[in-house]
Structure 1
């Protein structure tokens, strides 16, 4: 059972975490390190953090089975994207794709869009490729690619869990309005990220 107070506390803590982070996680390539560096990487940029929390939040809104499926599809496809990045496969502008993921996922939550299961999976899978590709471009220079990959996949899963928890807290009608408001804020942040990526 959730109360407006617990929902408010969760929203404030989430906002504080986002405001305390740099805007982009991909300001350069060749991050050295292993598991800890990989774990910290998705937490080091608001674009990644918001997209991954949004996947969990949208999944919680859509309910079963997507509340379980989307947080599995995203890391799995992210690993595929990382492989493409490691081998330098061509992909449309990655930063624009990541920014667009924040914008679209935020809009899906804000508009309370109940996408068909196949379409929700396709949207999440596509955006996961961009996030994974960005990680993959950094992996070849990492001291421990396996540890780094394990770290960023685990952090991604935890961010999805945060989104699911927020979604479950927002199960009541008042909470749903709060969740949609969060989605609108996330979508607005995505617009800003996209403007920065294309400028």
Structure 2
């Protein structure tokens, strides 16, 4: 299990840097993949939630390491389709902010949820994140390329969260869990600040 997580952390580091560089190409590419890729990376709310999904998956271990993030990405695609179609959905920003609060708290308290329950929880919040991505898609963007961009960026942020949990666990085996939980608590507090409009 540890060797698989180590490989995931290395792959994350290797893929995240060039992908981030690619996301900032010239303005002409912003109508599709690159613009979609940038969208989740451009907001603290999205970044915190995505990373917490990865940390949560790491804490659960086993098949949750891939099943929980994969659920988020797939359900988020459905939410993106709703947003792109212009279907009205209330409380989107509130749902996004609450996702940070709840996911941060789950990590902070080290909740040992069944994998199915964890998938359901992240899937619920994925709808709000996906809707925001889809609703903010530029009119000039190709829907499939834009969706591929935000799905890849999200998957990389999830992988970064898993990698963070693994790296902290390896660096400080005795206190790694405490550091990881503290990060969850900090994220939850940031989510409260976003919810209250303080950030």
Q: TM-score, normalised by structure 1?
A: 0.80
Q: Secondary structure at the match of 2:141?
A: coil
Equivalent in the alignment of 2:194: 193
Over aligned residues, Cα RMSD in angstroms?
Answer: 1.6
- Tell me the matched-pair count: 167
Contact 1:82/1:136 (8 A) holds in 2: yes
Identify which range, 182-191 or 83-92, moves more after superposition.
83-92
Q: TM-score, normalised by structure 2?
A: 0.80
Please identify runs of 4+ aligned residues in structure 1 that moved more than 6 A: none
Q: Secondary structure at the match of 1:193?
A: helix
Matched, 1:183 2:184: yes
Aligned partners of 2:111 and 2:196: how far apart in 1?
Answer: 24
- Deviation string 1:1-53 (CA, Å, 9 cap, x unpaired) is 9xxxxxxxxxxxxxxxxxxxxxxxxxxxxxx6111111111111100000001
Contact 1:38/1:149 (8 A) holds in 2: yes
Alpha-carbon distance change, 142 to 189 in structure 1, aligned in 2, over 3 angstroms = farther
Alpha-carbon distance change, 92 to 177 in structure 1, aligned in 2, over 3 angstroms = same
Contact 1:52/1:163 (8 A) holds in 2: yes
Equivalent in the alignment of 2:6: none
Contact 2:68/2:115 (8 A) holds in 1: no
1:91: how far off?
A: 2.3
Q: Secondary structure at the match of 1:141?
A: coil
- Ranges in structure 2 where 5+ consecutive residues have no aligned partner: 3-29
